[in-house]
Structure formats: C-alpha cells, structure tokens
Amino acid sequence: MSKVRVLVGTKKGAFVLNADGKRDKWEVNGPFFGGWEMYHVKGSPVDPNRLYASQSTSWFGQLIQRSNDGGKTWEPVENKFVYDGVPGTHQWYDGTPHPWEFKRVWHLEPSLTDAETVYAGVEDAALFRSTDGAKSWHEMSGLRKHGTGPHWTPGAGGMCLHTIILDPKDPKRMFIAISAAGAFRTDDGGETWKAINQGLVSEHIPDPKAEVGHCVHHVAMHGAKPDRLYMQKHWDVMRSDNAGDSWQEVSGNLPTDFGFVIDVHAHEPDTIYVVPIKSDSEHYPPDAKLRVYRSRSAGNEWEALGNGLPQSNCYVNVLRDAMSVDSLDKCGIYFGTTGGQVYMSPDAGDNWSPIVRDLPSVLSVEVQTLA
Amino acid sequence: MIRLQLPAHLRNLAGVNGEVSLRVDGAVSIDSVLDALEAQYPMLCGTIRDHVTHKRRPFVRFFACAEDWSHQPTDTPLPAAIVTGAEPLLIVGAIAGGK
C-alpha cells in the first residue's frame, strides 16, 4: 500500500508526519532542530529518502541539513552561500541603492532527475545550485544580473526568492518568483532570464504595470501542462497559458483575492486551490472562517470548502509554501497554519481534518507520496 | 588548552557535551580560537562569524573573564587566564536574538 510523508517546517523546528494510503492514522515525528526556524523541507523526486532542509535563526544564521533516510537522521551540509563576483546593489525601501546581503534560504527545490542536484532560493534574492548533494553551492547569477536586478526592492518579508518551479518537459526551462520583484523564466538552463510579469497590475507601485516590482506571493504549475502557470499575487489570483509571457486575472468570485498559497490538484491540471486572506494588513480569513477555495475551471469560478475547518473565531494565516498535494488516486490536499495546525483532505478538498493542532507556527508543508 | 563554552544550539550542532578544549598555536585571540574551533568542528562555520568577512554575527557575544569582548578587535590577545585555561572563553547567544 502507498504511504504518505508530510514534511512540515515551523518557526521552532521540523516535523515529519507519516501515514499509510488511507491517511486516517498519523505518526508525528519531531521536532527536528528544535528552536530553529525551518523555512522549508523537501524531498527528492528521484530518491524520496533524500531530504533537504533549510534551518536558520537570527543568532546563528543559515544551516542546510540533509537526510538520506527519509528524515530519521540528518547531517549538516554546506551553508556557505556567496554571491557571484561583486554583488552590486538593489533598491532599498527608501529608494537608495543597497548592497546585496545573504540572509537565509527560503526554498529548496530538488532536481526532477538527479538526487544530488538541488536549487536554493535565498534572501536577498538570488538562485543557487548544488550538484553534489548540498556539499557546495554556486550562484546562478544570470538571474540577478539579467538587467532589472538593481531595481528590485524588498517586500515586507524581505527580498526573497521563494518559488522555484522546474519544467518536467523541458530541462532547460525554470520559473522563479521574488518578493517584491515578480516572476522570471529561463529557457536555457539559467544562463539568461526574462521578467514574465506582463498582465500583472499592482496598484501599490508607481507604475502598476511595470516590468518588475510586483509582489508575487506564490506560483504553481501542473507537470502535465507546464505552459500553464497559476499565481497568487499580493492581491489578485492570476493565470498564464503561455509560460508566463502574459497573465490574466482569474480571481472571479473569491471573497478576497489577497492570499499567499496556491496549488494544483495532482491529477486535474485545471483544478486549483487558494486560501483567501482578508487583506494585506489583516492576515486572517474573511469572516473568521477558514476556507479553502477550489476552482475546477482554472480560475474565475470558485467554491468554498470548509467542511471540517474552523468556521468561527479563526484568525490564522496560511503562508506561501504551506500547501501541498499528494498523488494518490483520490488526491489529498494539505496545508499548515500560523496557528500550528496541519489540515488534510483525503478527497480533494471536500472534507478536512487536522493531522496535528498545536505545532509551532507553520512555515512550509511538502508532501511525498511513497510507493 | 583553551576552554570554550558554546551555546546549547551550537553544542547540539557540533555534537559535543560541556566545554570544548582547543589547541591554539601562536597568539591566542578571538580570531585564532575561532580558527581552531572551525577546523575541529567545520559544521560551525558561518554560525558564529561570517564565512567570508569573519565579522561576528550580530546576536553572538564573546565574554572573557567577566568582560564583554564582543566589540574588541578580534586579533586582540585574550587575557592570560583564557590562555592558560584557568577561565573559559564564553560564546553566548544574545537575549536580543530570539523571536
């Protein structure tokens, strides 16, 4: 029988949740690295027991941990992230040039074809790659130096590269997103990049349709339709049908189009999920009801899914990397909250129940479906 | 031997209990003690000082003989009591660093 492993990063440690394919009884393991902020934990699609984890604190900086046994044991690997050449400057909050400074790793994306290769999205925004199982890291500086870099500015959470999407049909194509610069694509394995923000409209910047400066919160793609991208922007839910060359708004009937997460059903490329959040200052669900919204039409028409989720007095948030799906026949949907709950639905969102309720504030959720 | 006390998170990371003993050749300073520490425990590289600039991380402090050495030039010779091992050098996570 298949198994499911859920990798949870929290503000005070990592947790590994295990269940069989029924997904009704869960074993909770952890905390691993208690007291450390675990921004992201993700497994290799090639070798599911190979996990990579980003571990940091304001005291002791950034560490990278690696597991070769599905999270039972871990070893620290290389934590040295040095920008390529002279780092240069980006734009600071007050409009002045500010030197690029490494702060932390937000996202780790293992290669689709090689367990030793993994990508890291960092703050201040840059993309790094390791081809030796995280024993060394090298910046893919074509992104930061492609031309608009000096105009990138940090969002409220810092200038972070938080989303990395690898195209399963084209190994040279990759998408990334940065707050608050926007989305970018390479078609040549990272040598050159282009901003893919046409169609985004952000009222909080001087030119709402600028080439860069958009606060993209998350981007998702289904491997069967890699030219179709879904985006949760600061405000607005967007879709591209041409690999990001242009975007159209698909917020439709959502109660609010602010939010952080967006994800795609494992077997239905047109079925997507968001968690609407009231506003950019009120980071909790509208009407104090925690509801996932599902669209089966690639956006525009949305239905609220709240069965089993708190429907009163709920003031949690769901952060950008805190939703994931499994690939069992009946697709499971998972998300974690800033209140420490990890919820799962075994039926594509129709019904929900908590796996755990009282973890530290959840930063990330990734799901592995194991044979 | 130089005696060094690490904060709990770094003891866990290095896999040590209690104090660390370090052999330091030549002048004993913050720089040379950290060089010896990182050579013996490479997993601590980058956690106390920056990999490249060797600048102290903002929320890490160095205490020696009941004095705060955090703002001293890091090549300043440490007190004799540290050099002889009569007193340990303390590396401390500042109270300000938590959230």
How far is residue B75's CA from residue A133's CA, in Å, rounded to a whole number? 36
Q: What mean pLDDT value characterizes chain B? A: 95
ipTM of the complex: 0.94
Q: Which residues of chain B are within 8 Å of residue A59 when distances are taken between CB atoms?
A: 7, 9, 57, 59-60, 93-94, 97-98
Report the pLDDT value the prediction gives residue A267, as an integer from 0 to 100: 98
Both tokens of A266, joined, read: 């494992």
Residue A229 in this model has a pLDDT that exceeds 70: yes
- Convert the pLDDT of each residue in A249-266 to its tens digit: 999 999 999 999 999 999
- Convert the pLDDT of each residue in B47-56 to its tens digit: 999 999 999 9
3-state secondary structure of B43: helix
* Overall fold of domain B2-97: Ubiquitin-like (UB roll) (3.10.20)
Report the pLDDT value the prediction gives residue A24, as an integer from 0 to 100: 95
Determine whether the interchain pair A59/B13 forms a contact, defined as Cβ–Cβ distance below 8 Å.
Answer: no
Residue type, A19: A
| Superfamily of structural domain A35-316 | YVTN repeat-like/Quinoprotein amine dehydrogenase (2.130.10.10)
Residue A1 in this model has a pLDDT that exceeds 80: no
Q: Which of A60, A79, A101 to mutate to test the interface with B (most CBs of B within 10 A)?
A: A60
Residue A288 in this model has a pLDDT that exceeds 70: yes
Report the pLDDT value the prediction gives residue B95, as an integer from 0 to 100: 83
What is the enclosing helix (H) or strand (E) of A31?
strand A27-32
Radius of gyration of chain A (CA): 19
Determine whether the interchain pair A60/B94 forms a contact, defined as Cβ–Cβ distance below 8 Å.
Answer: no
Q: What is the distance in angstroms between the Cα of B53 and the nearest Cα belonging to chain A?
A: 11
Tell me the DSSP string of A180-215. Answer: TTEEEEESSTTSS-EE--TT---TTSSSTT-SS---
Closest chain B residue to A83 measured between Cα atoms?
Answer: B52
- Convert the pLDDT of each residue in A64-75 to its tens digit: 999 999 999 999
3-state secondary structure of A286: helix
Share of chain A above pLDDT 70, in %: 100
Domain residue limits, chain A? 35-316
Q: Which of B47, B53, B60, B99 to mutate to test the interface with A (most CBs of A within 10 A)?
A: B47
For the residues A204-216, what does the mean pLDDT come to?
A: 92
Report the pLDDT value the prediction gives residue B97, as an integer from 0 to 100: 63
Report the pLDDT value the prediction gives residue B98, as an integer from 0 to 100: 65
Which of B10, B51, B94 lies nearest to residue A82, judging by beta carbons? B51
Report the pLDDT value the prediction gives residue A67, as an integer from 0 to 100: 98
Contact of A228 with A222, CB cutoff 8 Å:
yes
Share of chain A above pLDDT 90, in %: 95
How far is residue A126's CA from residue A145's CA, in Å, rounded to a whole number? 10
Q: Which long-range contacts (CB under 8 A, 24 or more apart) does A80-87 make?
A: A80/A136, A80/A137, A80/B45, A80/B46, A80/B51, A81/A105, A81/A120, A81/A122, A81/A126, A81/A128, A81/A137, A81/A139, A82/A139, A82/B51, A82/B52, A83/A126, A83/A139, A83/A141, A83/A144, A84/A138, A84/A139, A84/A141, A84/A144, A85/A141
Number of inter-chain CB pairs under 8 A, A vs B? 46
3-state secondary structure of A356: strand
Radius of gyration of chain B (CA): 12
Q: How confident is the model at residue A95 (pLDDT cuts 50, 70, 90)?
A: confident
What is the strand order of the sheet B89-93 is part of?
B20-22, B2-5, B89-93, B60-64, B67-68
How far is residue A15's CA from residue A342's CA, in Å, rounded to a whole number? 11
- Convert the pLDDT of each residue in A27-80 to its tens digit: 999 999 999 999 999 999 999 999 999 999 999 999 999 999 999 999 999 999
Q: What mean pLDDT value characterizes chain A? A: 97
B59 CA to centre of own chain: 13
